[in-house]
Amino acid sequence: MHIIGPELHRELECEAVLRTLPKWFGIEPALLMYARDSGIKPTFALAETDGAIVAFLTLHKHFPHAWEVHCMAVKSEARSNGLGSRLLAHAESWLVAQEVRFLQVKTVASTSASLDISRTDHCST
């Protein structure tokens, strides 16, 4: 697998990745927004040798030196293989080259009423 981006423009493939994760991306308008945003915001993706996307990470710039992980998803059948960590490390390196000093990753607290989301694997930096 290789990483492509930050100008991805493969919204339909990102949407397909999101649709494999209905517990986390089950709200249709939000799912469509994340897919659309993958084509207009800096987005990195892991692609297989045939070019198919299995994971992606979209970034949002708040200020020149402060960014956020806007969306991150790994196809359900490819989870727990370190793909998300690999994408995050690549995005962090890219941001360092842009002189970004702060990256925010928002997750749901373990005290959240939504147990499905709070029990997932999350990565924070």
Q: Which two tokens stand for residue 110?
A: 């373990």
Q: Of 3-12, 59-68, 103-112, which range is least confident?
A: 103-112
Q: Which residue has the tokens 């100008």?
A: 7
- The pLDDT assigned to 106 comes to 83
* Share above pLDDT 90 across residues of the chain, in percent, rounded to a whole number: 67
Mean pLDDT of 95-119: 74
119 pLDDT higher than 60: no
What mean pLDDT value characterizes the chain? Answer: 87
- Domains located in the chain, CATH noted: 2-118 (3.40.630.30)
| Residue 101 near residue 44 (C-beta atoms within 8 A) | no
Could you report the per-residue pLDDT of 16-48, keeping only the tens digit for each?
999 999 988 889 999 999 999 999 999 999 898
